[in-house]
Amino acid sequence: MQMDKKINVLIIGAGKGGKALIELFHKEPWLNICGIVDTNDDAPGIKLAKELGLPTGKDFSPFLKISGLNTVIEVTGNPEVEKSLSKMLPPGVELLKGASAKLIWTMIEEREKEIAELSNDRKAILNILEDVEEANKQLKETQAKLIQSDKMAAIGQLAGGIAHEINNPMGVILGFAQSVMKRIDQNNPLYLPLSSIEREALRCKTLVQNLLVFSRSSGTGKTSMEINQAVEETLLLVEHQAKMRNVVITKKYAPDLPMIFANRNQIQQVIMNLANNALDVMPDGGTITITTTLTIPSPLEGEENLSTVALAKVEGEGKFVEIRVEDTGAGIPEEVKHKIFEPFFTTKEPGKGTGLGLSLCYEIMQKHNGTIDFESEKGKGTTFTIKLPIIEEFTEKEKKKVLVVDDDRAIINLAIAFLKKFPEKYQFTSATDGFRAGQAVLEFNPDLMILDLLLPGIDGFQVCRNIRSNEKTKGIKILAITGYDSPENREKIFTAGANDYLSKPFEIEELGKRISKLLAE
């Protein structure tokens, strides 16, 4: 058999090493594999050789007769094969065996390692590129949020100035309109235009109040509150309208949710805006689903991205009360999703919306360290999700101590029932007369005392004076309560040193507000 002038190689042994040599040599134009020999037809090198159309065999003798054969590489490592080869090898043909063959094999292994390293480097580069892409995406999102924040701050300053300038003349217009309306009969031809003036003035008043939310001059008025109750109270205002529009409101409240620290009116305004928007996008009827739940972010999941837009961030990671308002409307068009939280942007017809609803929701949530997100799919509806951080649990040292003093055990039980709702905030004890109250003050060292005035023995006035005259106890906050309200009693108790005064019967919510206010001072 005659061969062209190349380096002609015979490979004996078609195991892993032989296969690697075939893979390496067959690509080189200056090398010619003139045969692969192995007694095993299923050897990986034999299979590869047959795929490549290379000559194979079980006996190396015929291949040693090939004219122009330069090199025989023996990779079986079998001493008998090496011995036979040494005897039969034609003159001028080089035999690579043992160390020489291992050297080639080592070179192949090194090359494979280099290829593997290059592959790993490629993967590393791809990972870096992915990280860069993700970082760039986050940077763009952060940039968008900063631009939005600056925009809202500028609008806030402008709105605050405009609102204060409008309030005074609007107050005059509203006041005189209402004053004249009280003096004329409803049949008077001026009554209808005056009524229109009053209605539009009240509308302007609401708009100004909404604008003031953007301004930092608007007070916060935050107190601890229970979110399910706030949601239920808000929905009472929209349920009638929902029935008129053939919209079903489904409520899914999680029980025993923790308290949040928030401005009740503003949170209810957010819920109202979202519910009204849901009604507006379902003119032919549908379903609004209101869900409350407790969310505990997993540290393995990192930041949740529940929506296409997240304009307010929660600082740190903790537990949140989550409220979802879901509708079955047409969904939000893709091209306007990035605009819906912008002030004065609206998809409603002229005169039917100010474009402030969702931007107000955004601003309110930002002031509460909360989030407002949304998910929307065309033809399937929209879900708005708001999250509010819960009141963090207090350690025993951080809990406020409250002493309730009243000779009526029912009043004590009422106050304690309220305090028990916040085991993470309050420790409490009670006393039924002035003498025991004095003992409890020294032993319990309360931060706040709820003190009835008309106690048997030492009355509340004297208890109050005793507390204020003692250097160790004079800093205790005192909320005076009585069923006998009179200007004289009020003057007397404030002179004795009380911080606040509440008449019986009182609403439990009002008691809670007074407690929160005094302990916050």
The mean per-residue pLDDT over the stretch 205-215 comes to 61
Task: Report the first-to-last Cα separation within the chain, whole angstroms.
Answer: 107
Q: Is 350 exposed, middle or buried (0-12, 13-18, 19+ CB in 10 A)?
A: exposed
Whether residue 329 sits in one domain with residue 378 = yes
Q: How confident is the model at residue 170 (pLDDT cuts 50, 70, 90)?
A: confident
Whether residue 267 sits in one domain with residue 381 = yes
Q: How far is CA 503 from the centre of its chain?
A: 43
Please report which helix (H) or strand (E) contains residue 94, including its range: strand 94-96
> Considering 48, 69, 97, which residue would you say is the last residue of a domain?
97
Does residue 481 surpass a pLDDT of 70?
A: yes
Whether residue 85 sits in one domain with residue 209 = no
Lowest-confidence region among 18-32, 204-218, 225-239: 204-218
Task: Quote the number of domains for the chain.
Answer: 4
Does residue 393 surpass a pLDDT of 70?
A: no
Q: Is 395 within a domain?
A: no
- DSSP states of 271-309 as a string? HHHHHHHHHHT-TT-EEEEEEEEEE---TTT-S---SSE
> Which CATH number goes with the domain that contains 440?
3.40.50.2300
Q: Is 121 within a domain?
A: no
Q: How confident is the model at residue 360 (pLDDT cuts 50, 70, 90)?
A: confident
Cβ atoms of residues 1 and 29 within 8 Å:
no
Whether residue 405 sits in one domain with residue 274 = no
Whether residue 404 sits in one domain with residue 381 = no
The mean per-residue pLDDT over the stretch 255-272 comes to 85
Query: What per-residue string of b and e applies to 424-458 under the rule 16 or more CB within 10 Å gives b?
Result: ebbbbebbbbbeebbebbeebebbbbbbbbebeee
Lowest-confidence region among 56-65, 104-113, 264-273, 492-501: 104-113
Q: How confident is the model at residue 109 (pLDDT cuts 50, 70, 90)?
A: low
Q: Is 424 within a domain?
A: yes
Residues facing residue 9 across a β-bridge = 33, 71
Whether residue 505 sits in one domain with residue 412 = yes
Whether residue 310 sits in one domain with residue 200 = no
- If you average pLDDT over every residue of the chain, what do you get? 78
By DSSP bridging, strand 477-482 and strand 448-452 are parallel
Whether residue 340 sits in one domain with residue 298 = yes
Does residue 315 surpass a pLDDT of 50?
A: no
Q: Is 168 within a domain?
A: yes
> Which CATH number goes with the domain that contains 72?
3.40.50.20
By DSSP bridging, strand 371-377 and strand 309-310 are antiparallel
Whether residue 385 sits in one domain with residue 405 = no
> Considering 167, 182, 214, which residue would you say is the last residue of a domain?
214
The per-residue pLDDT for 99 is 42
Q: Is 89 within a domain?
A: yes
Q: Is 274 within a domain?
A: yes
The per-residue pLDDT for 216 is 45
Percentage of the residues of the chain whose pLDDT score is greater than 70 = 74
Domain that holds residue 241: 223-389
Whether residue 405 sits in one domain with residue 310 = no
Cβ atoms of residues 428 and 401 within 8 Å:
yes
Separation CA 484–CA 482 (nearest Å)? 5
Does residue 300 surpass a pLDDT of 60?
A: no
Does residue 221 surpass a pLDDT of 80?
A: no
Q: Is 120 within a domain?
A: no
Highest mean pLDDT out of 19-28, 49-58, 129-138, 487-496: 49-58
Q: Is 332 within a domain?
A: yes
Lowest-confidence region among 104-113, 244-253, 496-505: 104-113
Whether residue 453 sits in one domain with residue 339 = no
Name residues whose C-beta falls within 8 Å of residue 381's C-beta, 6 or more positions apart in sequence: 286, 326, 327, 328, 329, 330, 331
Please report which helix (H) or strand (E) contains residue 362, including its range: helix 357-367
> Which CATH number goes with the domain that contains 252?
3.30.565.10
Long-range contacts of 186-190 (CB under 8 A, 24+ apart): none
Query: What per-residue string of b and e applies to 112-150 under the rule 16 or more CB within 10 Å gives b?
Result: eeeeeeeeeeeeeeeeeeeeeeeeeeeeeeeeeeeebee
Highest mean pLDDT out of 16-20, 126-130, 410-414: 410-414
Does residue 492 surpass a pLDDT of 80?
A: yes
Separation CA 372–CA 384 (nearest Å)? 7
Whether residue 346 sits in one domain with residue 305 = yes
Q: Give how far Cα 442 sits from Cα of 416, 425, 463, 476, Å.
A: 20, 21, 12, 11
Q: Taking Cα atoms as reference points, which of 486, 480, 500 lies closest to residue 437? A: 480
> Considering 196, 214, 232, which residue would you say is the last residue of a domain?
214
